[in-house]
A and B are shown apart, each in its own frame.
Chain A
Amino acid sequence: MADTWTVAGKTFSSRLIVGTGKYKSFEQNAAAVEASGAEIVTVAVRRVNISDPGQPLLTDFIDPKTITYLPNTAGCFTAEEAVRTLRLAREAGGWELVKLEVLGEAKTLYPDMRETLRATETLVKEGFKPMVYCVDDPIAAKQLEEAGAVAIMPLGAPIGSGLGIQNRVTIRLIVEGAGVPVLVDAGVGTASDAAVAMELGCDGVLMNTAIAEAKEPVVMARAMKLAVESGRLAYLAGRMGQRRYADPSSPLAGLI
């Protein structure tokens, strides 16, 4: 049976969601998306360039008909800004599946959970299906789910830091307690970090900088695809128990 996951009624095979920021060119971005195997990309909503309207657009390179665009609210620091941004995103794209993030401060880009929860409630009332970036706190995750979040997306480490999964215990607790998909969003630096997230039982991983700022983004995109698949398989396989001391792999009987 195919190993798929479903969010807000849409089913996906790839468990890797990639961002579309920080790339050198649209061409490189499109090649990285292709190599990653991602079926969902995050996008930002920004003012059109009125002084030079003829510039190429992201949609010219990554086709929203084949790749699901997940509009996000990066850069929003209040619930009102985030909701306003997503209302525009819904009009631009025509779909309800969105990524909510409401940031608390520029230094850490940690989410402001009070504003995030308020925005989630408003969005759900208006018919949106928000996937929500949040702190790695199992209680906050539960509250978001109760408010109608269609996916919980705790940070592994600060956005763009590449520090890897800092608290496996809390990510694991969120996974165990959640009735909706859980995806690590932010903090992944390299392939092993993505594998760790998946081994913890997450339904997926979202990343941008780890691919875009690699020396070879397209190669890293493929590494991430394989890491997410490996981590998922290891989770499904069920890892061995850990021991404090050695346990020989070869039989002790029949030694000469």
Chain B
Amino acid sequence: MVHEGTISIRVNGGHRRVPAGISVADLALELGLEPTRVAVERNLEIVPRSTLADVRVEDGDDFEIVTFVGGG
């Protein structure tokens, strides 16, 4: 299958195709998330919040996107 202009990534364990060339901030917005309310790990490395708009999503990237939830 050919996916013109898209790349394959994983987000929170699930497979996803996104447009090539987008930033991590774009990815968060595309997922409906407010980038200032989440923390992002890319290939086991933290992406500092201040650089979310500068870091480009690459084919094969593995993201974990987390937030605070109720807990003990």
Contact = CB atoms under 8 A, between A and B. Distances in A.
Contacts of B55: none
Given A50-B11, A88-B46, A74 B72 contact: yes
A46 B67 contact: yes
A71 B72 contact: no
B37 to A, nearest CB: 7
A58 to B, nearest CB: 6
A47 B12 contact: yes
Interface string B41-58: 100101111000000000
Contacts of A54: 32
B65 A48 contact: yes
A146 B39 CA distance: 31
A53 B32 contact: yes
Interface in A35-57: 42-48, 50, 53-54, 57
Interface residues of B, number: 26
Given A53-B32, A88-B41, A92-B38, A43 B46 contact: no
A229 B1 CA distance: 67
Contact of B37 (A22, A42, A59): A59
Given A48-B65, A50-B12, A58 B32 contact: no
Contact of A20 (B13, B48, B71): B71
Contact of B71 (A43, A59, A90, A160): A43
A208 B71 CA distance: 8
B70 interface: yes
Contacts of B72: 19-22, 42, 44, 72, 74, 159-160, 208-209
B68 A69 contact: yes
A64 B37 CA distance: 11
Contacts of B66: 45-48, 88, 92
Contacts of B12: 47-48, 50
A84 B42 CA distance: 12
A111 B45 CA distance: 27
B5 interface: no
A153 B58 CA distance: 42
Given A29-B70, A42-B71, A57 B49 contact: no
A44 B46 contact: no
Interface of B: 11-14, 31-33, 37-41, 44, 46-49, 64-72
16 contacts: A20-B70, A21-B70, A21-B72, A44-B71, A45-B68, A47-B13, A48-B31, A50-B12, A50-B31, A57-B67, A88-B41, A92-B37, A93-B68, A94-B49, A160-B72, A208-B72
